Structure 1
Amino acid sequence: MKTKLYFPRIAILFFLISLSISAQEKYTSYKGLVINQQTEEPVVSAKVEVENHDFSTVTNNEGEFTLKIPADLTNAIITTSYLGYESKSLHLRNFDQERTLIQLIESSEKLSEINLYQVKDAKSLVKECFSKRGENYINHSVVMSGFYRETIQKGRRNVSLSEAVIKIHKESYTSNRRDKISILKARKSTDYSRLDTLALKLRGGPYSSLYLDVMEYPEFLFEDEQLSDYSFTLENPTSINNRYVHQVSFEENSKGNAWYNGTLYIDAATLTLLKADYNLTIENRKLASRMFVVKKPGSVKVYPEKIQYHVNYFEKDGKWYYGHSNAMLEFVVNWKKKLFNSRFTLTNEMIVTKREEVENKKFIKANYIKPSIVMADDVSGFRDKNFWGASNIIEPEKSIQNAIEKIKANLD
């Protein structure tokens, strides 16, 4: 069987690298909810950004967001967008700091009847998409601010919460060098009494989110772009921001022990990959355990039941780059002498909140964290309600907010 690289691995234990943070500028926060106008269902992972400025965030699983912008930026236009919906732009004066309702309308065009960008061979389309990596994506290194969150649930109870504001040294999409990450500010709390810590010694962290960038790291999904092992099918097209988008479903031909399947969303005019959703299916439980579990006792079996990945790309000045990703992994832990097994759900999510075009793009080497390094517990940040300052984060959904409140209560 061919050797594969699988990301992300699970993270339970972290090390924190403390870095000094410059004084936060004065800012104003605006909260909102993005819903489907027709169904009133929340729109998850919708991008909310300030036009012509580098401030953005995405909605959480409940459609909620908080956007922080400099206090002196009063004449701004805020645009909300998501694949399959018409984008909506509103002047800042239409925003309420406490709650702004944004209703998106599903794209109504009959895109299947549009002939302008029709293609017949899905595999050729995907190959050409990857061949245009240097043309469509950033071709120089940049420094980006971001936010990372990871949660672990045992059953329905949150047992671990890790959050960090990060800096990303993003390399050109034509470079052979890998991206680097520094942690500027972080907080973490884990209830080890509810974790099978002897059974789970798993690793991961912010790099596991960054490696979901299919265009930068195609080898983690398509084996160095060897597309011959995959079947591709053109589905009904969709749109985003008035751009026509091909939906290409894919599936590995060989389904021996583990295989990927999912959907690529490719801009019809430029052949840019805008989004990818994919799953990893593993039927061989021993193989699954070897891929994701670093250490466990012989009396326990650990295996994943569901593994889902998502990545979205952002655009600036005609060039695209990694913008947002999330992963969800469900694990089962079976102890030999226990009647019932344990079920864990790990989710991690990372977003680029600001892109900085700076003359000196070199980080201090000592500030980098390694992909193998994780952060230690540090609950002090949960005491401060203004811990994140002016940094944009992903608004915590109710279950995460409840976990934060419980952490605070235990600290009092």
Structure 2
Amino acid sequence: MKKILPFIFVLSAFFISSAQTRISGIVKDETGTPVPFANVVFLNSSEGTTSNLQGQFYLTSGKYQDSAEFSYVGYETLVIPLKKGDNLNLKVVLTEASERLSEVTIYQGKTSKTNNPALDILRKIWENKRDNGVNKFAQYQFRKYEKLEFDLNSVDSSVIKNPIFNGMEFIFDNLDTNKVTGKAYLPIFINESSLKVYGDNTTGKKRVDLLGNKNSGFNENQNLIAMVKDIYDDYDIYDNYLQFFDKSFISPLSTTGINNYNYVLKDSAYLGNRWCYNIQYYPRRKNELTFKGDFWVNDTTWAVNKINLEMTESANVNWITGVYIEQEFEVLNDSVFLITKDFFQADFSFQEKEGSRGISGKKTILYDDYQFDLKKPSEFYRKEVVEFQKEAYTRDDDFWIQNRMEPLSGQERAVYKMIDTLQTVKAFKRLYNIATIAESGYVEFNGWDFGPVFSTFGYNEVEGFRLRAGGRTYFGQNDPWRIQGYGAYGFRDQKFKYGILGSWLLDKKSRLIVSAGTRRDVEQLGTSLTNSTDVLGRSLASSSLINVGDNDKLSELNLSVISIEMEPLLNFTVRVSGSFRNLKPASPGFSLDYYVNEARTQTSTEIDQAEISTIINYSPGRKTSSYGVERTVVNGGDFPTLFLSYSLGVKDVLNSDFDYKRLQFFYDQPIFIGGFGKSNVSMEAGKTFGAVPLGLLSVVPGNQTYFALYNSFALLNFYEFVTDTYVAVHLEHNFNGRLFARIPGLRNLNLREIVGIKGVLGSISEENKRLDASGIPLIAPNDEPYWQYSLGVGNIFKFLRLDAHFRGNYFDIPDARKFGVTATFGFHF
């Protein structure tokens, strides 16, 4: 099986949020003021929680509880009897203790930024943070044990009796109770890793060796393992921002934390033999990416000894109802604190209401065997292109007994057997097939897949209604070869279209791949400045049911390509290809004509062109899974991309029409700007040397649809600008709701504001203008750069983004559009 995460989310949709005992309500004092951070526990149990900033609480237990205890420093402890089942909307009033402390203060408003001892301690942490942990040493190495687990939560008798689980009732034999939320949960997926980590702080190099990996039922599924791990990026609490779920949360230890958090010096005590201060923190404003919790810090090294972080209820994040982080540190040689345990839990749900159904994802990392200042040669840190070690995924039980740093619980051990059994159940297979089709778009068969099903239907003015069917060979994610293709039929032009591509991995170490394919289809040229010889790329023309203006400039493309590529260095690929294409107009009245004689009396309507291309692509930081001919990128959009292409048009080869040279450059860079959101910057530049017709020129990509197209210009029509030399820049920034969070009436909608600006400067030679006989005005933005800007609102209903686009200049061009709106659909955290 290729993936199981879609199945987990399908299952979660059927859960009903109920448990043996549920309690909820609000804690107040005698004046009616909410009491935040009050302790709420079931009596004589370890199941508990704390009230939030508004004094609200929610707690569940997988078994019957007869009483709940409420306490807060300076107040009398209150025990309330509970009835069986639900005890919701409780009103809990705490009274001041008769023998209380000399002064009790409940902190819920904004604390002082000046006369606050907690802030003095925080500044000491900033001053000393680089003197703690592995950063203090030139070199370091340690062992690391990592456990990832997904649980189905809010499981009760009504869930178990749901007809969807007919034939799968045995999975509920392993129910447990979550120590953080108190919800009854069912472990359904577990992954264990044993690793050895090496680092050199003098060079900034790091190496991680996977010693062993084991997961429930899917031992060799690197796609699944990599995607699960990528959900939880590594983070350091001393950093200003903690990044996960594609968001930058403000750390309570951040140097900008004073502007985002309230800090209270709550206590001081010995932890072990170390005197430590306890600081409680909570956010200054709602709807920001912040936490609440507390941490203990040593009074001499100013190192954090223990910290917990809980995402605030109002944080602008989709599908996440809770995040809880807990880290523990131990002292080394009386001076340096090193992390020993890192626990991370996230609760996913389709609903946001209290006690909603969903999934809990938990990550536990344990560290030991620290060693320092053992220098390794630079070659030791050189990363291999292919690092997969099959033996690491097939370790025996003795290996795990020796390398687990904490034993599995009985429920966790049972998951391994339960998943193996589950895969033989027909009911499970049906659910899995539905989820896989929804996630990948392919219907799985033995050895091949049918799809993608989402491309089955299309429409354009040339083909009319279009029907498409495709497929690919698939024996496993590490297939050394793959053949894929499609066929399509247009009911208006009554023509059959097709594409087929075969790829073979000849050498795993260098990723030497040979590919060959051919494609004949109707295409909208000029939707990208950067050349593409993608044989199976989806034609933009096939989705042109809704357009701005007439979509009457479609072409008929017949393309054949053979290529060889290799990856000599990690994420650095070199590709050499030879292609031959035939281009001719497909739309009535559209022309690609060019003159074929000096007197400009004879024209040709078709282009035959042979081309040799060399492409270099570098994507530092890209993470991939599997090691076959195709790989899955697991952190798409989080790494820079550099593309450089040199193409040579060869005349007379296969009756090719033109000699030319083309140089193109593309650079894309995502930039995380801490609490201010995420920017994306891209630049394209290119030049064609030699005379070529319209079909081979660089058309500035317009967009006449109502949907956003990457790096296109939403207010340009197709073929509005045509160049042979160009430079284009695209800038976009997503504030992730930081501005709207400060506006009353908008903050609770969790909308996200996006701004963008883009421009292009280009020219076209007189030689190319003289060659053209198409009748289309060849206009280039050479007097001044064409530019436009946009204002957008994202996260509308959690899946819709709308952008309003405004044209900056060139208003005198016929049919120039001054304003437009595009929509983008997607599910994002």
Shorter-chain TM band = 0.5 to 0.7
Which of 115, 128, 140 aligns to 1:142? It is 140
The answer for the alignment partner of 2:294 in structure 1 is 263
Q: Which letter does structure 2 place at the counterpart of 1:153?
A: D
- The whole-number CA distance in structure 2 between the counterparts of 1:150 and 1:330 is 14
Q: Which letter does structure 1 place at the counterpart of 2:256?
A: Q
Q: Which letter does structure 2 place at the counterpart of 1:351?
A: L
Cα offset for 1:186?
A: 0.4
Task: Note if 1:167 corresponds to 2:196.
Answer: yes
1:197-223 CA deviation, whole Å, 9 max, x = no partner? xxx999452893641x312x3322258
Paired residues for 1:96-245 under 5 Å = 121-138=117-134, 139-140=136-137, 141-155=139-153, 156-170=185-199, 172=201, 177=204, 181-189=208-216, 203=227, 205=229, 208=232, 210-211=234-235, 213-215=236-238, 217-220=239-242, 221-222=251-252, 225-229=255-259, 230-245=261-276
Contact 2:252–2:281 under 8 Å retained in 1: no
- The whole-number CA distance in structure 1 between the counterparts of 2:198 and 2:385 is 9
Paired residues for 1:6-405 under 5 Å = 121-138=117-134, 139-140=136-137, 141-155=139-153, 156-170=185-199, 172=201, 177=204, 181-189=208-216, 203=227, 205=229, 208=232, 210-211=234-235, 213-215=236-238, 217-220=239-242, 221-222=251-252, 225-229=255-259, 230-283=261-314, 287-289=316-318, 303-317=319-333, 318-333=335-350, 342-357=357-372, 359-361=374-376, 363-366=380-383, 380-381=394-395, 384-388=396-400, 390-405=402-417
Cα offset for 1:121?
A: 1.0
Q: Which letter does structure 1 place at the counterpart of 2:195?
A: I
Q: Which letter does structure 1 place at the counterpart of 2:144?
A: G
Q: Secondary structure at the match of 1:396?
A: coil
Cα offset for 1:364?
A: 3.5
- The whole-number CA distance in structure 2 between the counterparts of 1:41 and 1:369 is 50
Higher RCO, 1 or 2 (CA under 8 Å, sep at least 6)? 1
- The whole-number CA distance in structure 1 between the counterparts of 2:338 and 2:358 is 35
Q: Kindly report the root-mean-square deviation, in angstroms, between the aligned alpha carbons of the 2 structures.
A: 4.2
1:6-59 CA deviation, whole Å, 9 max, x = no partner? xxxxx959xxxxxxxxxxxxxxxxxxxxxxxxx9988xxxxxxxxxxxxxxxxx
Contact 1:161–1:190 under 8 Å retained in 2: no
Q: Which is greater in Rg?
A: 2
Contact 1:245–1:267 under 8 Å retained in 2: yes
Q: Secondary structure at the match of 1:366?
A: coil
Contact 2:206–2:381 under 8 Å retained in 1: no
Distance 1:369 1:184, change over 3 A: farther
Percent sequence identity over aligned pairs:
9
Cα offset for 1:257?
A: 4.2
Contact 2:140–2:374 under 8 Å retained in 1: no
Cα offset for 1:375?
A: 12
Q: Which letter does structure 2 place at the counterpart of 1:262?
A: G
Cα offset for 1:137?
A: 3.6
- The whole-number CA distance in structure 1 between the counterparts of 2:384 and 2:45 is 42
Q: Secondary structure at the match of 1:320?
A: strand
1:348-396 CA deviation, whole Å, 9 max, x = no partner? 01011211336234643326999xxx999x9745xx3213253242211
- The whole-number CA distance in structure 2 between the counterparts of 1:262 and 1:357 is 32
Q: Which letter does structure 2 place at the counterpart of 1:306?
A: G
Q: Which letter does structure 2 place at the counterpart of 1:161?
A: I
Cα offset for 1:135?
A: 3.1
Distance 1:333 1:406, change over 3 A: same
Count of matched residue positions in the alignment of Structure 1 and Structure 2: 266
- The whole-number CA distance in structure 2 between the counterparts of 1:170 and 1:162 is 25
- The whole-number CA distance in structure 2 between the counterparts of 1:171 and 1:269 is 27
Structure 2 residue runs of 5 or longer lacking an equivalent are: 7-42, 47-100, 103-114, 154-184, 219-223, 243-250, 425-829
- The whole-number CA distance in structure 2 between the counterparts of 1:375 and 1:226 is 43
Cα offset for 1:190?
A: 5.5
Q: Which letter does structure 1 place at the counterpart of 2:296?
A: Y
1:132-184 CA deviation, whole Å, 9 max, x = no partner? 12334441230111100000012322221110001223565xx8948653322
Distance 1:142 1:201, change over 3 A: closer
Structure 1 residue runs of 5 or longer lacking an equivalent are: 1-10, 14-38, 43-111, 114-118, 192-199, 290-302, 335-340
Cα offset for 1:123?
A: 1.0
Q: Secondary structure at the match of 2:402?
A: coil
Distance 1:40 1:256, change over 3 A: closer
Q: Which letter does structure 2 place at the counterpart of 1:148?
A: E
1:331-353 CA deviation, whole Å, 9 max, x = no partner? 1136xxxxxx8510110010112
- The whole-number CA distance in structure 1 between the counterparts of 2:119 and 2:386 is 37
TM-score, L = length of structure 2: 0.28
Contact 1:282–1:288 under 8 Å retained in 2: no
- The whole-number CA distance in structure 2 between the counterparts of 1:375 and 1:329 is 30
Contact 1:209–1:326 under 8 Å retained in 2: no
Q: Secondary structure at the match of 1:355?
A: strand
Contact 2:301–2:336 under 8 Å retained in 1: no
- The whole-number CA distance in structure 2 between the counterparts of 1:394 and 1:409 is 26
- The whole-number CA distance in structure 2 between the counterparts of 1:190 and 1:157 is 16
Contact 2:216–2:416 under 8 Å retained in 1: no
- The whole-number CA distance in structure 1 between the counterparts of 2:369 and 2:231 is 18
Distance 1:393 1:247, change over 3 A: same
1:319-339 CA deviation, whole Å, 9 max, x = no partner? 2222210111111136xxxxx
Cα offset for 1:185?
A: 0.9
Task: Identify which range, 125-134 or 351-360, moves more after superposition.
Answer: 351-360
Q: Which letter does structure 1 place at the counterpart of 2:399?
A: F
Cα offset for 1:278?
A: 0.7
Distance 1:178 1:222, change over 3 A: farther
- The whole-number CA distance in structure 1 between the counterparts of 2:386 and 2:237 is 22
Q: Secondary structure at the match of 2:287?
A: coil
Q: Which letter does structure 2 place at the counterpart of 1:360?
A: K
- The whole-number CA distance in structure 1 between the counterparts of 2:207 and 2:285 is 34
